[in-house]
């Protein structure tokens, strides 16, 4: 079996080498359509596996609790400088281990326990840390949730867009101390300006969770929330195409509080190897080629959505303006659940995730929806033509799901398509 070139140093651990080789095969011979995933560059992966993994560095540059951090300080400063320049922000914290940590750190920095936060409900497209009952955030703070407008079968006005009247009414009624903009399963562009207006009207702070669209913002394909929001959080591994991790941008007046909430408030020693990899990705995202990439992600998603709609899938919110398409499966097949679709597509070599859709009658474990994204396969070089083919393959597998031969035939076609689009071949040294 072909193995990943990045595993060359793991020579005496057959079990792990075998597993890494299998995952390399899976990633390069099947379609990666999970909207929150991407293929990081070899440079990002090399930095993640660098000598910096060996260093303890609790604290911040110039103020560490351990010796030997002169170079680590420069690495973290480099990441912070590149990040503030990329988004035009006053201050950056690059230490959050994840987007969830980043969000909780912001709540901790700006609020007292029990304060009210207005955020998007999970089943309407929000994130777990936007106050889901399953998240500790809902126990520490009082969440009020907004959602999307009702579904409408008029293609000119499809509904399922953020309901700004609802946001404003709830803000006026509950007077939140913080409003959270941003989503995890929402295919439309999120304009930060109306959120700022509402926040100003009720005297609230504004946090923009740009986890999914950070790369689209960096590439200029989506509006930058930094001039509008007091704080912006994001993950570095989705459209931004960096290592797995989180980051926070803040106005200067909140910098100290944010830093203290991340460390020592939330975390211990930062992962300086990951921070170095973040620095690599911030440099990559500032290149002109990244803007081309961001535009292509969006164009691919549009073509993908059109082709999926042609196959009878209903597009939640009527289409897409970002990297993802949220499908309501019920119009395609009333019996087909998100869980079954995900499992069938896995067997066909197409990796997706089931997702609740607004007002989903099924549970979050079963769901009526499926979420797909274009960021990863766009990195691999796929364009509108290939995404139209991918929609055909998905429809074929799901329609023929009772017949294993059909699913296997789709898997073979997927492997053939993937053979021409190796994700790592696109990165030039």
Site residues (CB under 6 A) for ligand DSN?
A: 36, 99, 127, 184
Q: Please, what is the minimum distance in Å from the beta carbon of residue 16 to ligand DSN?
A: 26
Cα separation, 196 vs 50, whole angstroms: 41
- Give the residue with the Cβ less far from ligand DSN, 36 or 124: 36
Half-sphere exposure in the Cβ direction for 247 (13 Å, CA): 34
- Give the residue with the Cβ less far from ligand DSN, 251 or 339: 339
Q: Please, what is the minimum distance in Å from the beta carbon of residue 334 to ligand DSN?
A: 26
Q: Please, what is the minimum distance in Å from the beta carbon of residue 351 to ligand DSN?
A: 12
Strand extents, DSSP E, 258-346: 314-315, 324-328
Cα separation, 428 vs 420, whole angstroms: 17
Give the CA radius of gyration of the chain: 22
- Give the residue with the Cβ less far from ligand DSN, 302 or 323: 323
> CB nearest ligand DSN: which residue?
36
- Give the residue with the Cβ less far from ligand DSN, 59 or 126: 126
> Is 281 within 8 Å of 240 (Cβ atoms)?
yes
Residues in Cβ contact with 60 at an 8 Å cutoff, skipping those fewer than 6 apart: 76, 259, 263
Lookup: tokens for 37: 């995933």
- H-type alpha helices, 286-337: 288-310
Half-sphere exposure in the Cβ direction for 64 (13 Å, CA): 19
Q: Please, what is the minimum distance in Å from the beta carbon of residue 419 to ligand DSN?
A: 27
Lookup: tokens for 97: 């281990």
Residues in Cβ contact with 157 at an 8 Å cutoff, skipping those fewer than 6 apart: none
Q: Which residues are catalytic?
A: 56, 58, 209, 235, 238, 244
- Give the residue with the Cβ less far from ligand DSN, 257 or 339: 339
Q: Please, what is the minimum distance in Å from the beta carbon of residue 409 to ligand DSN?
A: 29
């Amino acid at each position: 079996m072909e193995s990943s070139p990045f595993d060359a140093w793991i020579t005496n651990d057959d079990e792990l080498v075998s597993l890494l080789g299998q995952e390399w095969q899976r990633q390069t011979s099947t379609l990666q359509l999970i909207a929150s995933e991407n293929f990081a560059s070899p440079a990002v992966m090399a930095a993640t596996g660098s000598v910096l993994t060996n260093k303890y560095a609790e604290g911040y540059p110039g103020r560490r609790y351990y010796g030997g951090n002169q170079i680590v300080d420069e690495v973290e400063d480099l990441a912070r400088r590149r990040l503030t320049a990329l988004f035009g922000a006053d201050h950056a914290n690059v230490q959050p281990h994840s987007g969830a940590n980043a969000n909780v750190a912001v709540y901790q920095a700006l609020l007292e326990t029990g304060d009210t936060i207005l955020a998007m409900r999970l089943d309407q497209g929000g994130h777990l840390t936007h106050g889901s009952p399953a998240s500790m955030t809902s126990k520490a703070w009082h969440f009020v949730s907004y959602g999307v407008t009702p579904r409408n079968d008029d293609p000119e006005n499809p509904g399922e867009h953020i309901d700004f009247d609802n946001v404003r009414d709830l803000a006026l009624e509950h007077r939140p101390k913080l409003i959270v903009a941003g989503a995890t399963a929402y295919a439309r562009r999120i304009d930060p300006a109306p959120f700022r207006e509402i926040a100003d009207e009720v005297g609230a702070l504004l946090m923009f969770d740009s986890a999914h669209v950070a790369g689209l913002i960096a590439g200029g394909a989506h509006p930058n929330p930094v001039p509008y929001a007091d704080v912006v959080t994001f993950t570095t591994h989705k459209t931004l195409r960096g290592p797995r991790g989180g980051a926070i941008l803040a106005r200067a007046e909140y910098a100290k509080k944010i830093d203290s909430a991340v460390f020592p408030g939330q975390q211990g020693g930062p992962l300086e190897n990951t921070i170095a990899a973040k620095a690599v990705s911030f440099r990559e995202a500032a290149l002109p080629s990244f803007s081309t990439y961001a535009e292509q992600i969006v164009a691919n998603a549009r073509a993908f959505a059109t082709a999926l709609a042609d196959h009878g899938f209903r597009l939640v919110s009527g289409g897409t303006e970002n990297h993802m398409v949220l499908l309501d499966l019920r119009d395609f097949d009333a019996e087909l659940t998100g869980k079954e679709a995900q499992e069938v597509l896995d067997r066909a070599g197409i990796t997706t995730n089931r997702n609740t859709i607004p007002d989903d009658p099924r549970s979050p474990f079963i769901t009526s929806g499926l979420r797909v994204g274009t960021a990863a396969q766009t990195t691999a070089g796929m364009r509108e033509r290939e995404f139209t083919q991918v929609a055909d393959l998905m429809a074929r597998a799901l329609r023929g799901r009772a017949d294993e031969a059909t699913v296997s035939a789709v898997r073979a076609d997927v492997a053939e398509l993937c053979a021409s689009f190796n994700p790592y071949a696109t990165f030039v040294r």
